[in-house]
A and B are shown apart, each in its own frame.
Chain A
Amino acid sequence: MQAAALAKDIAVRTIAVVNRKGGSGKTTTAVSLAASLAERGLATLLIDLDPQGSASAWLAAPDLARRSFDALVAGRDLGATVVRTRVAGLEMVPASASLLAAEGRLKGDMSVGVVHAIESLRPDWDLVIIDCPPSLSYLSIGALMAVREVVIPVEAHAIALPGVAAVVHEIRRLQSTLNPILFDPLIVACRVNRTTHARQVVAELDRLYGLRLARAMIRESIRFAEAEAARLPITEYAPESGASIDYRLLADELLQRRRLSAQAPRPVSRWRRLFARSAYAAALTRRAR
């Protein structure tokens, strides 16, 4: 009932999980967060935009090599590619390996296709979470253009700090150019172990990003690898583990931050609003007809 009450006062929330650096916990966060939200009773859709298909393999989605490709490239309905997973309330759009070649060929048109596909989804879910590729690609740009929220998982290691700064910088640029209604990102410290170094990195993230850093931190755990091998999210594989609790706390924090989504986005100049609403949005609407 609480979940229904939560879902009532929020529109469909679209969240992209991004980071350039591989091994930052991006796919783990996308899958585990989606499972935690579904556990809360919210209908959740996980879109795997990574041509590597890690999230699709994790949740044991059937091999649909071309279907999401057709939706993103040929303009067909993305909703037709949705498949159920073993987690109640969680559905997903599996990845397509063909997207990699298509992206290199289509470039900006790929981003427009992603925007169109996501915006054309029926509002059958409470949350849509997108697992983006681990690079600045046209797929991830399209996802960032279509969503309103961004989550950046960061490994608690000093080597990850420059990458976070780069991603935050790119998102700020994107906010001012391609998606004025995109909120500031939520940064999540992942793979946090008990070393002094990890604590120092988290302290540095707190100093750099303040309120943008999630209070929930995801600990390092071998259970994630085990869960992936078992083709189950951590909340199903080891529901009592500390890692599961961490992701549930993150899901709760994300839901508590729902009020950010309900508020008006940052004020933008009139011409930015005109571009966002009229130019390509209208063109995409015409294309959809």
Chain B
Amino acid sequence: MALQDLLLLILAMAILANVLLLASIPLRARSRDWAGQVPSITRAPTSKAPAPAPVRRSPRGEVRDDGVARAVAAIEAFVADVSGDAAGLMGAPAPSDAPERRAAVTGVASPTAADPTRAAGRPHAHAPARSAATPQVPRRHAPAWALAGVADRAAWDRAVHEESARVARFSRPVTVVIAELRRIDDVAGRLGRDAADRVVAETARLLVAEGRSVDHVALLDYALFGVLLPETEEARAREYAERVRAVADEWLQSAGLSVRLALGWANPAEDRDVEAAAALAQQRMREGEEPPVTGAPTA
């Protein structure tokens, strides 16, 4: 075959190939659509239409789309989280009357949320659950009281002084509970200071969660807590202490820690001295004796 004919043949074949290539595009597209439209035995056909965004309205009545609504929800959640931490980090007990909010802040399911008969004083045994909004306290760079999110010694002294004046004036019942984490140094030595800090912080949250909003929880020393229970007889304080101990024991045992929470409580004597009651509670905690449940002020 002549060279010219060969070149013409090659050119014709190239043109034919291009034509076929161009012609195959709509065919492939149609075949893809067709394949997509045939329902599969193993999966349901997927809809190509985008799902309509949920409609939400702003306080001004304007319609917001889903993205803005999610952003606003994230902002509100951030404010709720940080506001709950704020009082603890600034040296005051976490303020909350709502058990749900307290649970969100402390990470411990409050018994009042599940059981409205908490006023009867029945103990509830449950492990503290970690909520998704567990606050992350800057552990390495904050004072010890800030780690726990409760009041410090100075605030405790002020609260005791004020309560003493109130008790002396109005003769109202008050009980002081002292709690201490025994063998916390073992945890620090074995697992590190951060782990020990976490145990202290969780214990503080437990003490707050099992109490009421009027109760005053403070960190007196690294693993020593004081709980001031105004308007509380010793019998009720005992129930509080038992609840806290039950939850703490269950939690610490499940975590495999050798730490134990020791508790002692006392209410003021005839002299209405709350500070002396705190010292008595601490002494009882150290001695491990449980005061008789008489409901009357003990000396």
Which residues on A are within 8 Å of B, measured CB to CB? 105-109, 111-112, 136, 138, 141, 145, 162-163, 165-166, 168-170, 172-174, 177-178, 208-209, 275, 278-280, 282-284, 286-287
Contacts and interface: CB of A to CB of B under 8 A. Distances in A.
B146 A112 contact: no
A173 B82 contact: yes
Contacts of A287: 68
B79 interface: yes
B138 interface: yes
Interface of B: 58-60, 64-68, 70-79, 81-83, 85-86, 89-91, 135-138, 141-143, 146
B68 to A, nearest CB: 4
Contacts of B65: 283, 286
A17 to B, nearest CB: 19
A284 B68 contact: yes
A7 to B, nearest CB: 31
Contacts, number: 100
Contacts of B64: 109, 283
Contacts of B71: 108, 112, 279-280, 283-284
Nearest to A109: B58
A284 B75 CA distance: 15
29 contacts: A106-B59, A107-B59, A108-B71, A108-B72, A109-B58, A111-B75, A112-B71, A112-B72, A112-B75, A141-B75, A162-B90, A162-B146, A165-B138, A165-B143, A166-B89, A169-B136, A169-B142, A177-B77, A178-B75, A278-B67, A279-B71, A280-B68, A280-B71, A283-B64, A284-B67, A284-B68, A286-B65, A286-B67, A287-B68
Given A106-B58, A109-B60, A173 B78 contact: yes
Contacts of B85: 166, 169
B90 A166 contact: yes
Contacts of A145: 75
Contacts of B59: 105-107, 109
Nearest to B85: A169
Contact of A141 (B79, B136, B143): B79
Contact of A162 (B72, B74, B89): B89
Nearest to B72: A108
A92 B64 CA distance: 30
Nearest to A285: B67
Nearest to B87: A166
